[in-house]
Structure 1
Amino acid sequence: MTQHLELESRIGAYEAAERAQDSIDHAHEAIAALINAKRQEIAILDSATRAWGMAVAGIPFRAGDRILASPVEYGSNHILLVHLAERLGVSLEFLPLDANGLVDVAELENRLDERVKLIAMAHVPMHDGLVNPVAEVGALARGSGALFIVDACQSAGHLPVDVRRIGCDLLVGSGRKFLRGPRGTGFLYVRQAVASRLTPAVLGLDGVSWHSGTYHLAPGAPRFETWEVDAAARIGLGVAVDYALQWGVERTWRRVRHLAAGLRERLAAVPGVRVEDRGVERCGNVAVTFRDLDPFDVRAELLRRGINTWVCLDNAACHDMQLRGLSRLLRVSVHYYNTEEEVERLCSALEALTSGRAAGRTAGVFA
């Protein structure tokens, strides 16, 4: 990426892109290989939020149509669904969860009828360690005729994602999370057979072909793309996906699960810490709350010690977190490159914080 930006500064953006066109285009092929798709089924956009919004807004909803969504949808996706319901008169319904916090597949089947036009589900929520049964949902969706969109932002590069096995029509992912690619990159998978049913709300030169004063939409996912792109970011995304494929996602997934299981077991023994994860199969995202500490204060102290975590707020998973009475929690995510020693260092730091033994504790910070 830096080499390309330096080249742009020396010879110009168009000229640099011409020289690097193969590397820019390679990102599509890399993502297709990652999720077992075809090249023409992949569009690259500037974020997963953009990709998800473009896909859903391209569905021809009518008043009275129904959308079924999991209650753990990411906040931006939730907002768009509410917006569509208010603007178009469609019905937005959140699916119930079973005892393990997973979407109740049997209840989903009971709710399906000819009015259901879309099923939306997060593969892995941003605020929980659970993995939703997306393949089971995909089988139901395909039999019903409803479109099925999967949010794979937290799962792409984290665990195996195979669109053929899942049976989804649409899937979005982020370049900057477990794929470790550049920020400002997202991708959209559109199953070839359903692309003709979708009309993007915004069109660009790369999404159409001109014919005698009129235009025709591109035949696959490229209809969602625009001509102007961040060339350096696309190059970086392709390199990041290649790197993940070289390691092997099946292989790194085993490592992530091992580390996360050890982390959860260790955290459960720390006084004042509660592990909030649900599910049967659990991933590398570990969600915790604290009896006497604010997650923001904990994150700040951990960051001071060189440990990166993140605070999830209820506006980013409002339906589920508000139902559970959670306003904020700390997300600790492990990846294959982390070590058992780093897991122990994190847990020791949390023990010091919860017991009031944090070195250099500033008066009032943890009040």
Structure 2
Amino acid sequence: MVDWDLAVRVASRIAGDGPEVSRTEAEDAVVELRDGANASTAYVRDFTGLETPVHDDPERGAPVLVVDRPGWIQANADAFGHLLGPLVDRLTERKAPSGLAVAVGSRVTGVEVGGLLGFLAGKVLGQFDPFHAPDGRLLLVAPNIVHVERELDVDPHDFRLWVCLHEETHRVQFTAVPWMREHLFSEVQALAATVSPSGVDETFKRVTETIRGGPQRLGSASIVDLMSTPEQRDILDRVTGMMSLLEGHADVVMDGVGPTVIPSVGTIRRRFNQRRKGAGSLDRLLRRLLGLDAKMAQYRDGAEFVRAIVDKVGMAEFNAVWDRAENLPSKAELSDPEAWVSRVL
């Protein structure tokens, strides 16, 4: 249903190569980012109390990969293909698409997905991919990190370690809490189970009518808001609670550890937050439609939730959130940490 090879080619053309750097600068950045991620493991462990398992098998564990934009695009095309498997099975279980539909439709969707990946490939600094077998992998996008450190005019060594602290926290979260990977995939499967061919037709009819109504009717809705049913929104609310916890927890770690190992962390945080507000009108529209504004809110809401509970009961008690899926905060509890404390602790 998606021509993934075409999607990767389209995305790579849109994304471009990133800033110009010499071969020596590129090699130095790769080494520094890999070293920064590895050094961050101990910082995250000491601050959070989360222990990552040690494997005797060299094939186990979540590796750190420093990639360029095409490398990030390929990794995410692979991940999307894996995640969309249950949805594709659901849509084709009764009647397989015709050869013409596959030939034409897969190229159309390939271009669409390529456009999305191309837009994101120039913005993502790092990402933990939990679905890469067997234990996930950490991706650090070197050209984007170099681009942003230059744009902010901050110390590159400090900025690289700052990014590594955030992203390494995600690697620790998923490797120290092994049930979380399967839990997240089960939510994706639950979402796929709500989709039917007739439902897809109704969804696109609703989306088309809303978009034709213009910006006033669109309001602050993202594509996800427009396309989801009430049942799907319930699942997405659970995922939002989980992802907000993960993102907010990582922000708390990077800001908690940062002052002890990153001399210019205050300047970096201030300029980075200001940069988030400075996007152009087209960029802001795309961010809203793609739900990236909601992701920015996840950092804020999740961090406030984590800080409120840690301030009240301490990190050791807060870590009950990682014991089982039932302890994850709901979307409502993110803005009411006391409700989570009463329910879980």
TM-score, length-scaled by structure 2: 0.26
TM-score, length-scaled by structure 1: 0.25
Higher helix share: 2
The structure number with the bigger radius of gyration is: 1
